[in-house]
Amino acid sequence: MKPALPLLIALSSSLAVMPALAQDAASLKKAMIGQWELATTERSKTCVMTFKPDAGQRGLKLEMEPACATALPFTKDIAGWNVKGLGDIVSLQSANGEAVIDFTEVEAGIFEGLRQGEGVYILQNLAAARSLAKSMDQMIGDWSMVDGNGAAVCSLVLTNTDAGNDNFQVFVKPKCDPKVAAFAPTQWRLEHGQMMLMSARGETWKFEADDNAQWRLVPDSATPLIMLRQ
């Protein structure tokens, strides 16, 4: 008895996508080879690991710096790595094959993974992570917020003092424009290339860097606000 035509079509479609999925997994495995930084979202705790292409005790080999076990205790359970799912999940696995933490790519070269009860962790190429750390360092200090005409409307200090939830403290100097004073930012962080200012009430202002190395409030408006490093 011949298979029904819809079944043949379904089988053909499945066979057609299999090489593509395999190729995706192979491409991701190749892209992961090298040094990566595993870190909390605010990078207060970091671990440098080296992904290798060789077969290991579990999946592919992975080497970690000795400090990893102290900074991120769960890394003691990691015995290897692999790619799973549809070739889009990077899995750090224990010796018995269980996932210690799984990562999915949220933007080019940046992966996020969740451990229940602990929070989100970031896996990023080591060179890119160190570049981000340098960017964070450059954000610390005095800033001036100006309007579209360049007139100063407020002065703020961005600090590296931990404010919880991956944020850092902001101090607003006296004599701010009423709009900024009413917003009253108390915390800040960098998130996906944006500078986030947040008030104690949970409001958020987002700034993006423009071509002139200024940070503009987005979405843009007829009365723009711009952050300038002092």
Q: Calculate the alpha carbon distances from 55 to 61, 81, 103 in Å.
A: 6, 10, 20
Which domains are assigned to the chain? 5-126 (2.40.128.10), 140-229 (2.40.128.10)
The larger pLDDT score, comparing residue 78 to residue 134, is at 78
Note whether 125 and 109 are within 8 A (CB). Answer: yes
pLDDT computed for residue 85 by the predictor = 78
pLDDT one-digit tens code per residue, 146-163: 988 889 999 999 998 888
pLDDT one-digit tens code per residue, 89-109: 999 999 998 999 999 998 888
> To the nearest whole number, what is the mean pLDDT of the chain?
84
Enclosing H/E stretch for 134:
helix 126-139
Where does the pLDDT of residue 211 fall: very low under 50, low under 70, confident under 90, or very high at 90 and above?
Answer: low
pLDDT one-digit tens code per residue, 120-148: 999 998 887 777 666 777 788 999 999 88
Please report where in the chains the tokens 């711009």 appear, as a residue.
226
pLDDT one-digit tens code per residue, 37-61: 999 887 778 899 999 999 887 789 9
Does residue 3 carry a pLDDT above 50? no
- pLDDT (mean) for 79-92: 89
CB atoms within 10 A of CB 227: 21
- pLDDT (mean) for 195-212: 87
Separation between Cα atoms, residue 31 and residue 195, nearest integer Å = 29
Per mean pLDDT, which range of 19-28, 50-59, 110-119 is the poorest? Answer: 19-28
Please report where in the chains the tokens 């919880």 appear, as a residue.
164
- pLDDT (mean) for 195-224: 85
Does residue 70 carry a pLDDT above 60? yes
